[in-house]
Amino acid sequence: MLKLPRYTTRDLAIMLWTMIPFSILLNVIIFGSDMFSSIRVPIIALPGTFLFMAGSFILYGHIAVAFRQRLPGDGNFLQRTIMMILLFLTISALLIFLLYKIYHLIGLVGDTRDENNFTWAYIVTGILNIFLTFLNEGIYRFENWKSNLKETEELKMAYKQSQLIGLKSQVNPHFLFNSLNSLSGLIQEDTEQAEKFLDEMSKVYRYMLRNDEDPLVKLTTEIQFITSYFSLLKARYGSAVDLVLDVTEQDKEKSLPPLSLQVVVENALYQNKTSKQSPLQITIASTGDNKIVIKNNVQRKILTETGDQETGLDNLIKKYQLMSDKPVEIFDSGTERRIILPLISRKEEVVA
């Protein structure tokens, strides 16, 4: 298939729908009444003119793509369009002159050919160039709008899906049963500790159930949540899990998608064994370059199937791809796993 420079996704269709009728019209202008006086003229001129104009269309496409790369964005629309039209009109004059010369050399056009035909051929070609320039710009802007709309919808879908995954992995009968079971044991053993556990449990569920509108939350809010969430894990696992926080005050004012820390921590718990003799140690720390790292020691356990935690991590990676040009980074040395999450400032925030 013919490879075009891809100014828009409709380049091939535009070329076929415009160049075929334009080639016929251009030949009628060039040859006049001689167009159908001899079978030799249309047989040679029609396909020849089409191939010539199709080649010029591809040339114009490369030039247009170069202008769009050099002068991108809607703010440069007028400057970009005027410069392209002026250049296209200049090139068109040269191409029409060259086409006349070719037809003269092969004997299709005589020396006495009226020069007015050249003028009309150039005028028609110029009008077509102007029309195609504005048409391609219009299609490009429409496709760009559709692409942005699609990305926004994908972001909303990924965001809602991550909420459902977070709720499914946490607000489910198994997790709730474990929490209530831990609470029941504490009530019998330590009433004061049971009250603290219940308070942290209410904070965890309140955060997950209420935090369903904002695409971004401050890191300080996420840390408060993960602290309450980890206190529930400590009640269940005891000294078999440990959490260290080493985040700067400056980074705490940055933002990230809600429940990001919970997704990574839950993934670490899902993949690794925990015991008092060999605790799972999780550290959340600033890296100094607008990122945070969540790292844990690796002590793999055998997994029979992929759980919601893996799906949740995949979804978090996809969400970052839609919200920021800074990707989630994952490093696994075999003894330590590090997941680096970029922090997003409010000016980078994507409104979902």
Q: How far apart are CA 134 and CA 140, in angstroms?
A: 10
Pick the closest to residue 239 from 226, 228, 230 (CA basis). 230
Q: How far apart are CA 57 and CA 48, in angstroms?
A: 14
Name the burial class of residue 129, with classes exposed (0-12), middle (13-18) and buried (19+) by CB atoms within 10 angstroms of its CB. Answer: buried
- pLDDT higher than threshold 60 for residue 290: yes
Q: How confident is the model at residue 352 (pLDDT cuts 50, 70, 90)?
A: very low
Q: How confident is the model at residue 229 (pLDDT cuts 50, 70, 90)?
A: confident
pTM for the complete prediction?
0.51
CATH superfamily, domain at 171-348? Histidine kinase-like ATPase, C-terminal domain (3.30.565.10)
Rounded average pLDDT over 225-235: 86
Domain ranges in the chain with CATH number 3.30.565.10: 171-348
